[in-house]
Amino acid sequence: MSPMLPLLAQEDPRAVLAWRAGRPIRVADFLADVDRVAQAMPEGDHVLNACQDRYRVAVGFAAAVLRGKINLLPSTRTADAIRRLREALPDLFALVDGPSDLELPRMRYPEGDAADAAPAPPPRPMPRIQADRVVAKVCTSGSTGAPLPHDKTWGSLVACIGAGRDRLGLPPGTTLVGTVPAQHMYGFESTLLMALHGGLALSGAHPFYPADIVEELARVPEPRMLVSTPVHLRALLASGLDIPPLAMVLCATAPLAVELARDIEARTGAPLVEIYGSTETGQIATRRTARTEAFSLLRGVELVPVSEGLAMARGGHLLEPTPMHDLIEPLGGGDFRLHGRSADMVNVAGKRSSLAHLNHQLCSIPGVVDGAFFAPERGPDDAVGRLMAFVVAPQWTPRALRQALRERIDPAFLPRPLVLLRQLPRNATGKLPQAALAALAARHGESVEACHDAR
């Protein structure tokens, strides 16, 4: 018989679980909201939680769990992806708390939160969930573009959060302010689940711009942890705004430059911890990027080499051995060095490099706000054509920037064209989808021998 695990690690009904608009929401309030939303849910075994308010995402997730439903976390919400999901799961419906263009049956989040009611709701026994129950399906996009679901059991999620909480060592009651959606695997684990089973409190807000991030940090009590991405952190530094005191900064979703990590630590006085993982595995390792290039695996997880540079993750919270798609160099003692994704390796004129390395060199140039290389389709000899690059660098001209780049990388990898833009089409999690880069390449790749300024 699978053990029964509590919905919340914090069982004191008076403990603060979340903050909304500067007001505390206690465990008793949360459980009352969960009951109310669970009772209002329609039939159907699968729910796509599309709420914008992070607290309501948490309530909707827990309500679905109590009703025996499965939360769906798709990697993208394009019309085609939603159509495919609905074909595979005809009973799928969306939980929304505002306008939505999802082509799905919808349930509107019920108005009137328990924290606003008087008197306060009476305490109720903590719900418990069977550890081996599948409570979520997180989706990646396969090579065909079809969403590939990965089952997450309640026990595996609780074990993952326990290992992450122990690694971070944050004091109980730390408030989590996230710039990433709670429906993305990183935000799901590091804000929503960390509040439910890490003894921490989440902020209901979803700030994006630097001024909004600073405002929300100032609104919630110390200690605070900012859960963010390299893109958001770079913009926050560039804003020059005063950042309220932080206990820690957590970062993931894209490669983090050492210089940016050091700048963030110098500005905030807080350690910056970078998470490594995937949608399939969840978080499996961390590093203090400003101090070391080595990642350290979480409790119980190990990497088993399967071929040159590639490995399989197993143990710990993982339900089954899972292949990793990155080039990994084991260092012993549960540590490893990351060399980028295996698919990112490029071969130009007989020379090999990785897009991750090239992007790192590009973004390390002073004055470069954001940037990314793009490799065209590989040829039959596994070589690629002339690389392209798209850059946000207001102080640079394309020609001068290419010259600065020449000092950092082999001339074979110099991009033509190099296109200056006002911003790159990153998504809400700070990632730069390959399809978006391909669209930029199609738009700006006609005059291949010239540099371009498309601002």
Q: At 319, which CATH number?
A: 3.40.50.12780
Q: Which of 280, 315, 339 is the last residue of a domain?
A: 339
For 145-158, what is the mean pLDDT? 81
- Does 412 reside within a domain? yes
Are residues 427 and 309 located together in one domain of the fold? no
For a pLDDT cut of 90, what percent of the chain falls above it? 58
Specify the higher pLDDT residue, 269 or 278: 269
262, 150: one domain:
yes
What confidence tier does 224 reach under pLDDT thresholds 50, 70, 90?
very high
> Which segments of 210-350 does DSSP mark as H helices, in order?
210-219, 230-239, 258-268
pLDDT at position 147 over 60 = no
Give the C-alpha separation, 355 to 414, whole Å: 12
308 near 302, Cβ under 8 Å?
no
Least confident of 73-82, 293-302, 320-329: 73-82
The answer to whether the beta carbons of residues 339 and 308 sit under 8 Å apart is no
CB of 156 within 8 A of CB of 317?
yes
Clarify whether residues 310 and 400 are in a common domain.
no
Fill in the amino acid letter for 396: W
> For residue 173, what is the enclosing H or E element?
none
User: For residue range 307-347, what is the model confidence (pLDDT) as tens digits?
Assistant: 877 899 999 999 999 998 888 899 999 999 987 765 677 77
Residue 13, amino acid: P
* Residue 2, pLDDT above cutoff 80: yes
In terms of residue numbers, what domain contains 39? 4-339
Residue 29 lies in a domain: yes
The mean pLDDT value for 250-258 works out to 87
Residue 296 backbone phi and psi in degrees, to 5: -115, 130
Shared domain for 145 and 246, answered yes or no, is yes
What would the pLDDT profile of 185-212 be if each residue is shown by its tens digit?
A: 899 999 999 999 999 999 999 999 999 9
Neighbours of 266 (CB within 10 A): 10
Asked if residue 97 and residue 222 are part of one domain, the reply reads: yes
Residue bearing the bigger pLDDT, 240 or 348: 240
Tell me: do 138 and 189 sit in the same domain. Answer: yes
Neighbour count for residue 137 (Cβ, 10 Å): 19
SS3 at position 275: strand
pLDDT at position 452, please? 64
The residue-averaged pLDDT of 386-394 equals 91
* pLDDT reading at 383 higher than 90: no
Instruction: Write the CATH number for 424.
Output: 3.30.300.30
Of 10-19, 114-123, 220-229, which gets the smallest average pLDDT? Answer: 114-123
Q: What's the whole-number mean pLDDT along residues 387-406?
A: 92
Is 92 part of a structural domain of the chain? yes
Does the structure show a pLDDT above 70 at 449? no
The tokens describing 420, both together, are: 């200056």
Domain endpoint, select from 279, 314, 339? 339
Give residue-wise pLDDT tens across range 421-445: 999 998 777 778 878 888 888 888 6
Percent of all residues in the chain with a pLDDT value above 70, rounded to a whole number = 90
Is 188 in the same domain as 212?
yes
Letter for the amino acid at 106?
Answer: R
39 band by pLDDT with thresholds 50, 70 and 90: very high
Give me the count of residues in the chain: 455
**pTM given for the model:** 0.81
Do 74 and 124 touch, CB atoms closer than 8 A? no
Q: E strands within 121-223?
A: 128-130, 134-141, 147-153, 175-178, 201-203
Q: Is the pLDDT of residue 142 over 50?
A: no
Within a domain: 133: yes
| Any domain includes 344 | no
Helix (H, G, I), strand (E, B) or coil at 102: coil
Q: Are residues 197 and 250 in the same domain?
A: yes
Contacts of 436 (CB under 8 A, 6+ apart): 424, 425
Same domain, 327 and 400: no
Residue 41 has pLDDT above 90, yes or no: yes
CA distances from 209 to 260, 265, 328 (A): 18, 20, 34
442 part of a folded domain? yes
Residue 375's pLDDT is what?
86
Clarify whether residues 98 and 194 are in a common domain: yes
Distance CA 304, CA 326 (A): 13
Q: Is residue 176, in this structure, part of any structural domain at all?
A: yes
Please give the pLDDT value at position 140. 67
> What is the pLDDT, as a whole number, of residue 381?
45
Structural tokens at position 379: 């040829």
Report the distance separating Cα 440 and Cα 436, nearest Å. 6
Strand order from edge to edge, sheet including 322-323: 301-307, 310-315, 322-323
Distance CA 218, CA 77 (A): 32
pLDDT, averaged across the chain: 88
The residue ranking higher by pLDDT, 69 or 428, is: 69
Domain count, the chain: 2
Whether 212 and 334 share a structural domain = yes
Structural domain includes residue 333: yes
Residues 321 and 374 in one domain: no
Instruction: Say whether pLDDT at 64 is over 70.
Output: yes
Choose one of 339, 372, 401: the last residue of a domain.
339
